[in-house]
Structure formats: structure tokens, C-alpha cells
């Protein structure tokens, strides 16, 4: 994560990026409520962090506030949208049409943020041919050709862990740049791809640890 960021040479930590994503949700809610101005102290309160943290996070990307006044909600929200790259549409391919894949595909929040599934692949003949909204579930053997013809930026991986790596290799071949992985498996990716792992077992097991104290 040493690449240049929007004309800025500083390295942005993943912690900062995740908080940015939270600021986005908070600001969107404030905007809906008709709040026009917000201070770093208020944002911090809503986000459960410190105001210094808020100001520091934002300072990596520019001067969005006004001393003595705070931040204009809509203005800051729009800035955060641009920073996160949510000002355009992202195409996604889903690999694994199981119940988790189904839940993700039909989750409306993603579309509202601009993340659209345009491909769904599985290997189960029972599922192949089924329509999910306007997307037909295809056999994964068709994936490579179809993704070359209609590329996407993001691949979402909900297959069993045994096939996760080969699916990632396929994604690499067709130019997918980001992978959201739900398989409990460490994946090897080329340097020009980004990976985000979501491991629900880790979440539950860490709860279990604290409950056992």
C-alpha cells in the first residue's frame, strides 16, 4: 500500500479508510436529517472515536472544514464519496451462488452505493440457468469468456475454500482488480490486485474468546 494517493505521497492506512467509510454513512444520515453543519467533535461522538482522529483522517485528503465553524455536511459527504471512489459504478462478479452469495446479491445497500452484480457463477447444475433479478446464473466454465466480453472491477468469492484460489486466478486473467473474499483461505494475488477478506468464523471465535474470560 505504498502507491500514490490522489496526488498525495502519504500512505493512507487501512484504519483510516475504514473510518472514512464510516464517516460517509454518518454524513449521509446527518444530511437526511437536514443537519447542514457538523464539527469534528460531533462526528467523533457519532463514530465512537476522538475528534483528533477525525481531523487527522480528513487532513490526509484536504482542508474540508472552516475554523470556528466545522464542516458543511453535504460538502464533506461529497468529498468523502470522491475519496472512496463511490462516485462511480462498480461492476461485480459473484462466484458461488450459495445462500451467502444469494444474500449478498440481493442486498440492496450495495446497489445504492454503486456496487452492481452483473455476473453470477456456480458449478451446481440445479442452479445454472436460474435468474437472479436480470442476471442468469452461469457455469463457472463460461466465466472467463463472459468476463472478457463484459469485464468487472470486483469479484466476490463465496465458493468453498477448496476452489477459492483457482477462481482468483481466473479473476486475475480477466482483469478483475479487487476481490472480496468470504472463503476462509489465504489467497495469493498478483501485486496489481486488492484483496479484502471477510471471515465470519474469526468474528465468532473472537467473541467466544472474550465470552470465556
Partner DNA sequence: TAGATTGTTAATCGATTAACAATC
Interface with DNA, residue 83, by CB under 7 A: no
Among 71, 105, 121, 182, binds DNA (CB under 7 A): 71
> From the list a second copy, DNA, none, which binds 24 (C-beta under 5 to 8 Å, kind-based)?
a second copy
Helix (H, G, I), strand (E, B) or coil at 175: coil
Query: In whole angstroms, how close is the CB of 90 to a second copy at the nearest point?
Result: 6
Q: How far is CA 189 from CA 91, 122, 162, 165, in A?
A: 20, 21, 16, 9
Query: In whole angstroms, how close is the CB of 134 to a second copy at the nearest point?
Result: 18
Per the listing, cell 461492476 goes with: 91
Interface with DNA, residue 35, by CB under 7 A: no
Cβ-contact 111, 89 below 8 angstroms = no
Interface with DNA, residue 39, by CB under 7 A: yes
Whether the CA torsion 25, 36, 75, 39 is positive or negative: it is negative
Q: What residues pair up with 167 in beta bridges, in sequence order?
A: none
Burial of 146-178, coded b for 16+ CB within 10 Å and e otherwise, reads ebeeeebbbbbbbbeeebbbebbebbbebebbb
> From the list a second copy, DNA, none, which binds 51 (C-beta under 5 to 8 Å, kind-based)?
DNA
Interface with DNA, residue 58, by CB under 7 A: yes
Q: Which residue number, 53 or 197, has a Cβ lying nearer to DNA?
A: 53
Among 66, 87, 199, 206, binds DNA (CB under 7 A): 66
> From the list DNA, a second copy, none, which binds 201 (C-beta under 5 to 8 Å, kind-based)?
a second copy
- Which residue in 18, 17, 22 sits closest to 6, CA to CA? 17
> From the list a second copy, DNA, none, which binds 106 (C-beta under 5 to 8 Å, kind-based)?
a second copy
Query: Rounded to an integer, what distance in angstroms lies between the CA atom of residue 198 and that of residue 15?
Result: 15
- The count of residues interacting with DNA (CB under 7 A) is 24
Query: Rounded to an integer, what distance in angstroms lies between the CA atom of residue 56 and that of residue 76?
Result: 14
Interface residue list for a second copy (CB under 8 A) = 1, 3-6, 12, 14, 17-18, 20-22, 24-25, 46-48, 83-86, 90, 98-100, 102-104, 106-107, 109-110, 113, 115, 153-154, 177-180, 184, 186, 194, 196, 198-213
Report the interface residues with DNA, using CB under 7 A. Answer: 13, 15-16, 39-41, 49-53, 55-56, 58-59, 63-71
Amino acid at each position: 500500500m505504498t502507491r500514490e494517493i490522489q496526488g498525495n505521497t502519504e500512505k493512507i492506512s487501512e484504519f483510516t479508510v475504514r473510518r472514512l467509510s464510516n464517516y460517509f454513512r454518518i454524513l449521509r444520515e446527518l444530511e437526511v436529517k437536514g443537519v447542514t453543519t457538523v464539527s469534528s467533535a460531533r462526528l467523533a461522538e457519532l463514530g465512537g472515536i476522538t475528534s483528533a482522529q477525525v481531523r487527522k483522517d480528513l487532513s490526509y485528503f484536504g482542508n474540508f472544514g472552516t475554523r470556528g465553524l466545522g464542516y458543511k455536511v453535504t460538502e464533506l459527504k461529497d468529498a468523502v464519496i470522491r475519496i472512496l471512489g463511490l462516485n462511480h459504478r462498480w461492476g461485480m462478479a459473484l462466484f458461488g451462488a450459495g445462500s451467502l452469495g444469494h444474500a449478498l446479491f440481493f442486498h440492496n445497500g450495495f446497489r445504492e452505493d454503486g456496487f452492481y452484480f452483473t455476473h453470477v457463477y456456480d458449478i451446481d447444475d440445479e442452479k445454472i440457468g436460474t435468474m437472479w433479478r436480470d442476471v442468469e446464473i452461469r457455469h463457472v466454465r463460461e466465466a472467463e469468456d463472459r468476463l472478457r466480453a463484459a469485464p468487472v472491477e470486483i469479484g466476490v468469492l463465496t465458493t468453498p475454500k477448496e476452489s477459492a484460489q483457482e477462481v482468483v486466478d481466473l479473476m486475475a486473467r480477466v482483469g478483475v482488480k479487487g476481490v472480496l473474499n468470504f472463503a476462509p483461505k489465504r489467497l495469493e494475488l498478483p501485486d496489481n490486485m486488492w484483496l479484502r477478506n471477510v471471515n465470519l468464523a474469526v468474528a465468532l471465535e473472537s467473541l467466544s474468546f472474550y465470552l470465556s474470560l
